[in-house]
């Protein structure tokens, strides 16, 4: 077993930093310290917690340039995307500080012979296991909601963005968050299982693949711990007969390459009716073919490297297997001969069931275009997936698009005539193999609380 984590710049393949793994005793002591901090934090009023969370948002903005540079160095994000991510996290703090006290306020209801009170009480230490694609946002998304609720928070971040997790801890404490209330655990997978088993840990939240979600969900269930799981997806964006083709093409390009194509809610499958198929393919291939790879720290770069060599190699293998099974790459599709974990913007057509490009999540800048007979067939294909996180509809008839989104699209989120990732005042989460539970929009604040019934008899 290695005793260190070493981070590497995926654009240059140069080592960045090394970090010592915690011993088992150190990890156990860190959980205890977080619990001890929670015992004090839970006594704070929601307004007092909100004040600290508002200060965290201000501190994130103050440290934006330094933090963005670190994220880009660790995972290859475009520098503009890194700055945008931190601004999103600051706005999450703003939203939570503004709305948290109202969301968590006691509720009163009439009961026979008295008054019923519903109190949202914090439960304790919440353990988050998070991936590398949004080093700040993935951690902030569950942390800020749980701090607002009065809980303590543990973070096991992905190894390749260890520095970002520790930077975030510094931001929180500089802003006034009590020491140890947000604790970064530098541990391995075996140690992580022990954290889940720890009696002081009251809930587990995880973002990652559906395979990892099954393992972590099972371990948590074995210990009777509630979970929120935000897992992978293969989001379908459907172009219906009455779509505005120019709008659809532009949004579908943006939706596929955002964050170098490494986002759970990237647009990944593009299902186009026969009416638009040929024109869509021509326009889409032209735009994707014009996207050049480059240095992610350069503001003008449109596509940076993937976060690690092994992730790039997995994507390349999925593309190769899809082509072997009948798909065609109209642009891209080959690993470039250059330093760094780069993969080009790629467009696959003739995508069918049985190919990774149809069945699985391609976590990188690879688009799968699928022809549908008509609108009904397009919706059928969109739902023909084990995943259900996000999706999109392009249709000039807004009322019809809303009806399809609410009644037929089997996903947690649907964009109409555009592409969105996450907005603080809207719930975020999926169905089917994309997991369960919701974050944002006030929902995340109540995932790990005790909705306590208090009966006041008169």
Distance CA 402, CA 416 (A): 8
Q: 22 and 136 share a domain?
A: yes
Q: Once rounded to an integer, what is the mean pLDDT over residues 419-423? A: 93
**Residue 428, in any domain of the structure:** no
Asked whether residue 1 carries a pLDDT value surpassing 70, the answer given is no
Spell out the residues 6+ positions from residue 342 whose beta carbon is closer than 8 angstroms to its own. 293, 304, 305, 306, 312, 335, 336
The count of structural domains within the chain is 2
Q: 131 and 184 share a domain?
A: yes
pLDDT level of residue 2 (50, 70, 90 thresholds): low
Here the CATH number for the domain that contains residue 157 is 3.40.605.10
Q: 245 and 394 share a domain?
A: yes
Q: Once rounded to an integer, what is the mean pLDDT over residues 201-226? A: 97
Active site residues: 230, 264
Q: Once rounded to an integer, what is the mean pLDDT over residues 164-190? A: 98
* pLDDT per position as a tens digit, 335-385: 999 999 999 999 999 999 999 999 999 999 999 999 999 999 999 999 999
Q: Once rounded to an integer, what is the mean pLDDT over residues 79-90? A: 98
Residue 373 near residue 273, CB atoms below 8 Å: yes
**Residue 62, in any domain of the structure:** yes
User: What is the percent of the chain with per-residue pLDDT over 90, rounded to a whole number?
Assistant: 99
Q: 415 and 440 share a domain?
A: no
Token pair recorded at residue 188 = 């391995």
Q: 170 and 197 share a domain?
A: yes
Residue 106 near residue 63, CB atoms below 8 Å: no
User: What is the percent of the chain with per-residue pLDDT over 70, rounded to a whole number?
Assistant: 100
* pLDDT per position as a tens digit, 227-260: 999 999 999 999 999 999 999 999 999 999 999 9
Q: Tell me the H-state helices in 299-395.
A: 309-324, 356-359, 375-383
* pLDDT per position as a tens digit, 281-315: 999 999 999 999 999 999 999 999 999 999 999 99
**Residue 227, in any domain of the structure:** yes
pTM over cut 0.85: yes
What are 415's strand-pairing partners?
392
**Residue 219, in any domain of the structure:** yes
Here the CATH number for the domain that contains residue 320 is 3.40.309.10
Q: Once rounded to an integer, what is the mean pLDDT over residues 44-68? A: 98
Q: What's the CA dihedral at 296, 299, 301, 306 to 10 degrees?
A: 20
Q: 328 and 196 share a domain?
A: no
Which of 206, 34, 68, 203 minimizes the C-alpha distance to 130?
206
């Amino acid at each position: 077993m290695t005793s260190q984590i070493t981070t590497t710049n995926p654009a240059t393949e140069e080592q960045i930093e090394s970090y010592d793994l915690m011993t088992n005793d150190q990890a156990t002591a860190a959980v205890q310290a977080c619990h001890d901090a929670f015992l004090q934090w839970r006594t704070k009023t929601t307004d007092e917690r909100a004040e600290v969370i508002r200060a965290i948002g201000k501190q994130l903005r103050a440290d934006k340039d330094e933090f963005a540079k670190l994220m880009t160095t660790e995972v290859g994000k475009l520098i503009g995307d890194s700055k945008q991510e931190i601004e999103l996290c600051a706005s999450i703090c703003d939203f939570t500080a503004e709305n948290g006290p109202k969301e968590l306020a006691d509720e009163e209801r009439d009961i026979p012979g008295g008054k019923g009170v519903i109190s949202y009480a914090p439960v304790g230490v919440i353990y988050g296991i998070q991936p590398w694609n949004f080093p700040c946002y993935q951690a902030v998304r569950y942390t800020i909601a749980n701090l607002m609720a009065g809980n303590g928070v543990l973070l096991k971040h992905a190894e390749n963005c260890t520095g970002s997790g520790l930077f975030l801890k510094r931001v929180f404490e500089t802003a006034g968050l009590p020491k140890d209330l947000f604790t970064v655990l530098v541990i391995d997978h075996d140690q992580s299982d022990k954290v889940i088993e720890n009696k002081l840990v009251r809930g587990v939240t995880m973002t990652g693949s559906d395979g990892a979600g099954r393992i972590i969900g099972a371990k948590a269930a074995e210990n009777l711990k509630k979970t929120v799981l935000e897992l992978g997806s293969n989001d379908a964006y459907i172009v219906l007969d009455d779509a505005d083709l120019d709008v659809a093409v532009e949004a579908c390009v943006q939706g596929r390459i955002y964050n170098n194509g490494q986002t759970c809610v990237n647009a990944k499958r593009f299902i186009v009716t026969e009416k638009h198929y040929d024109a869509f393919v021509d326009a889409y291939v032209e735009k994707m073919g014009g996207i050049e790879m480059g240095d992610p720290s350069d503001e003008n770069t449109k596509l940076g490297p993937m976060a690690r060599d092994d992730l790039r190699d997995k994507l390349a293998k999925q593309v190769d297997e899809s082509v072997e099974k009948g798909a065609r790459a109209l642009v891209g599709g080959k690993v470039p001969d250059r330093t760094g974990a780069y993969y080009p913007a790629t467009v696959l057509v003739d995508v069918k069931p049985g190919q990774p490009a149809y069945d699985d999540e391609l976590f990188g800048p690879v688009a799968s275009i699928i022809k549908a007979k008509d609108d009904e067939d397009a919706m059928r294909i969109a739902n023909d997936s084990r995943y259900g996180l996000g999706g999109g509809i392009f249709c000039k008839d807004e009322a019809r698009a809303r009806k399809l989104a609410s009644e037929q699209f089997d996903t947690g989120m649907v964009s109409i005539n555009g592409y969105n990732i996450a907005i603080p005042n809207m719930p975020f989460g999926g169905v089917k193999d994309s997991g369960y539970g919701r974050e944002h929009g006030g929902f995340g604040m109540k995932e790990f609380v005790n909705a306590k019934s208090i009966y006041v008899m008169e």
